[in-house]
Amino acid sequence: MFDRNGNDNSTYNRDNIAEIAKVSETVAGFIQKEYDRQKNNVELIASENYCSEAVLAACGSCLSWKYAEGYPGKPVTRHSGNKGRYYGGTHYVDELEEYCCDKWREVFHTDYHVNVQPHSGSQANFSAYAAVLEPGDTILTMNLDNGGHLTHGSAVNFSGKYYDVHFYDVDDNGFINMEDVEKKAKELQPKLILAGASAYSRIIDFARFAEIAKSVDAYFMVDMAHIAGLVAAGVHPSPFGYADIITTTTHKTLRGPRGGMIFCREELAKKFDSAVFPFAQGGPLEHIIAGKAVCAEEALRPEFKAYGEQVVKNCAAFADEFLKLGYHIVTGGTDNHVFLIDLSEEPFSGKDLQVACDEAGITLNKNCVPNEKRSPFQTSGVRVGTAPMTTRGFVEEDFREVAHRIDDVVKKLRAEKEAEKDA
């Protein structure tokens, strides 16, 4: 893992690249370039992070070779139902997968059923919907422009194509409008109400969502992919005890391998396991499950709590500095690891700023903002997050300095656009 100055005190990645080069110098060259980019850039993508060498090692272990369709238990027979594996030689991966599940229940202080097999957050959401919904059923959720995720009902995604999706609004300041949630829930009588986002910077009121869902006899689902590490660290309210269904990734604020998980109330366990396998996936990636187990152990350590606290402090300082510089921040600030800079009044788009920042060694991403007027390929905003650079040791003053670096890029870009207009 890189430190704050881009130094790598281990040889893990370099040794791996050297080993790959023995077979393919071309592939090793691509990886080397990406390694150098990550080492030298300021990484602000809110959905990215750096995982530990222990997680990387687990993901590159001999478990990569093992097929294990099914779930831990005896070999599948005509009498065993859905429990068990469809392959032999699974004794040790059975133990590993059960251990991984136990550790994640420990991380989140819950007795919910957990399935650690989803390959990604999107596949976790696909399986979650399939477990409790039929095509055409109604979902009430947050749309992409207001901070939701592609799998929360976007028209181009399976969620928008297979289900009758309706969206609750945010208020003029970008906060979730809970009155609108309640009003639309009563009008639409959805089968499922979804909370959670990919670009929402405020605390989500899980208790109020649960109350509204119960009042209309809807399932309440939380996609906590972005905030899971903050929940684990105790710096964001937990959805456990409120939601019927919780999905997450493991590679964002949790600092684990790329993958997904589903938690659900015990009475829904059979439906959810069947929705993951055999409905949505075949063999689980046991090497990634090993990485998830290592990640869970790391999340149980005191230093992870300190990390989560620092992520939130850093993000608050980062947003505050942009406000001092005169920028419009959606919701006026942040309670978590992410916020949006609204560029609606600028002569350039979010994509323009993303490209210009790339050239300046700063990685962030274009993002839609509430009441978006530009296309999703251009956008009127950018999203920034503090999780990856906090992993590398950045503190509040470092992020204030980065805000000024981005401001310099903005000033240059603004001048270029004005010059183009005058030409």
Where in the sequence numbering do the catalytic residues fall? 67, 69, 223, 249, 252, 258
Provide the token pair at 7.
């130094």
Provide the token pair at 4.
């704050």
Which of 272, 208, 273, 203 lies closest to 242, judged by CA? 208
Distance CA(370)–CA(142), nearest Å, equals 11
The 10 Å CB-count burial string (b at 16+, else e) for 298-330 is bbeeeebeebbebbbbbbbbbbbbbeeeebbbb
Distance CA(102)–CA(105), nearest Å, equals 5
- The label of the residue with tokens 């477990």 reads 131
Q: What are phi and psi of 263, to 5 degrees?
A: -115, 145
Q: What are phi and psi of 2, to 5 degrees?
A: -80, 150
Distance CA(119)–CA(113), nearest Å, equals 18
Concatenated DSSP letters for 197-252? -SS--S---HHHHHHHHHHTT-EEEEE-TTTHHHHHHTSS---TTT-SEEEEESSS
Angle at 333 between CA 332 and CA 337, to 5 degrees: 150
Provide the token pair at 218.
């809807």
Cis omega before residue 190 (within 30°)? no
